[in-house]
């Protein structure tokens, strides 16, 4: 019978490491109090606090149960191996090998969480798309990217709130803003922050020529509670307007769209997808606080890349990723060098491979000994 001692010992070491970076002991201490808070009959009197408590409890339970499932799987594998070795029973070898393979896969998913080391990686994400160079193709590309991220969020179990989408002058969208809610939403989507380049035969070119188009995605941590951000109403200009219904099914056509301009900084937010002007203003104000908090962090750390990475012009030479449909098919990230030939799958939201490759690239770039 094959000796699986080293394999099982390696899994034990990985489990010990997981206990540390998941802070399992702290989570077990925190769980009872969170369960008490979540069971309070008046919990939902404050919806924001209720979402915070239930979300935190869900994350704690998820990490503890995953750790315990892996711990149990290793213990079962060790027991099976010892029994097989004592009884010289080779028939259990295939079962042990299958169990070890499954545990390895589970550990791979678990260890991805160790890459979420940023201050706000657990947070929701405010995402803003903006068309760049490329005319009608860039506006069409912006709408394609919006669909790609909405599909990714749907496939990944995240909630999405589309705040605003503005029709392009020729086609597609000139801009769009949306919030992605769920654990590690920002931690994953920050890998997408930057300029995205599309190369294809242009449907807007009568000669059928190849066209290059650009659009940018800006990703900011979307914090429900930003206590250190004080906004004076005198510093705001609030405009109301009728939404254009840009993006077809994406946006409700209403008379209550709101645009807020923070005059001292020039930061602008808008929302047109809620049912009332009051709701649109509340969402736009929350987006404004998140953007101003981001601005404060950038100024405090004096380095834009500390939170979102470098912001560059939305045109040639600035892209983080290229999506080539002609003359061949390829999506390639220019930072991690992760690539795939299945362009259709990526445009339909299959982005996890690119996100994980970026996080691993980021860790190796900051700590070469980590890889």
Where in the chain are the domains? 5-115, 124-364
pLDDT for 278 equals 87
Contacts for 252 with CB less than 8 Å, ≥ 6 apart: 243, 245, 272, 273, 275
Alpha-carbon gap, residue 136 to 323, rounded angstroms: 17
Nearest CA among 2, 13, 23 for reference residue 103: 13
Write the pLDDT tens digit of every residue in 189-217. 999 999 999 999 999 887 878 999 999 99
Contacts for 136 with CB less than 8 Å, ≥ 6 apart: 168, 170, 171, 172, 202, 204
Write the pLDDT tens digit of every residue in 319-331. 999 999 988 999 9
As its CATH architecture, domain 124-364 has 2-Layer Sandwich (3.30)
Residue 153 has pLDDT above 90, yes or no: yes
- For the question of whether the overall pTM of this predicted structure is more than 0.75, the answer is no
Most confident of 56-60, 169-173, 340-344: 340-344
In CATH terms, the superfamily for domain 5-115 is Release factor (1.20.58.410)
């Amino acid at each position: 019978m094959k000796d699986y001692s080293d394999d099982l010992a390696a899994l034990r070491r990985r489990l010990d490491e997981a206990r540390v970076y998941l802070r399992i002991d702290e989570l077990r201490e925190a769980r009872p109090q969170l369960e008490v808070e979540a069971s309070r009959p008046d919990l939902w009197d404050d919806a924001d606090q209720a979402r915070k408590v239930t979300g935190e409890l869900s994350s704690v339970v998820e990490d503890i149960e995953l750790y315990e499932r892996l711990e149990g799987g290793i213990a079962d594998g060790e027991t099976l191996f010892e029994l097989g070795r004592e009884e010289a029973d080779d028939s259990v070898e295939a079962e042990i090998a299958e169990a070890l393979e499954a545990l390895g896969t589970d550990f791979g998913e678990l260890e991805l969480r160790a890459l979420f080391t940023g201050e706000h990686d657990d947070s929701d994400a405010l995402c803003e798309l903006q068309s760049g160079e490329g005319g009608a193709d860039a506006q069409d590309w912006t709408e394609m990217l919006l669909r790609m991220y909405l599909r990714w969020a749907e496939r990944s179990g995240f909630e999405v709130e589309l705040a605003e989408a503005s029709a392009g002058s020729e086609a597609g969208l000139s801009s769009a803003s949306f919030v992605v809610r769920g654990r590690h939403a920002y931690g994953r989507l920050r890998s997408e922050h930057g300029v995205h380049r599309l190369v294809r035969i242009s449907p807007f070119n009568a000669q059928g020529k190849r066209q290059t188009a650009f659009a940018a995605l800006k990703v900011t941590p979307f914090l429900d509670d930003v206590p250190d951000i004080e906004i004076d109403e005198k510093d705001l200009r609030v405009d109301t307007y009728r939404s254009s219904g840009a993006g077809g099914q994406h946006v409700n056509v209403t008379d209550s769209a709101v645009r807020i301009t923070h005059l001292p900084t020039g930061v602008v937010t808008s929302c047109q997808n809620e049912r009332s002007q009051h709701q649109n203003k509340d969402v736009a104000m929350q987006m404004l606080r998140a953007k101003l908090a981001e601005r404060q962090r950038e100024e405090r750390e004096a380095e834009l890349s500390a939170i979102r990475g470098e912001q560059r012009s939305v045109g040639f030479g600035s892209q983080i990723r290229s999506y080539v449909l002609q003359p061949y098919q390829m999506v390639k990230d220019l930072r991690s060098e992760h690539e795939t030939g299945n362009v259709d799958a990526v445009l339909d939201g299959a982005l996890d491979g690119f996100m994980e490759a970026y996080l691993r690239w980021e860790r190796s770039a900051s700590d070469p000994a980590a890889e």
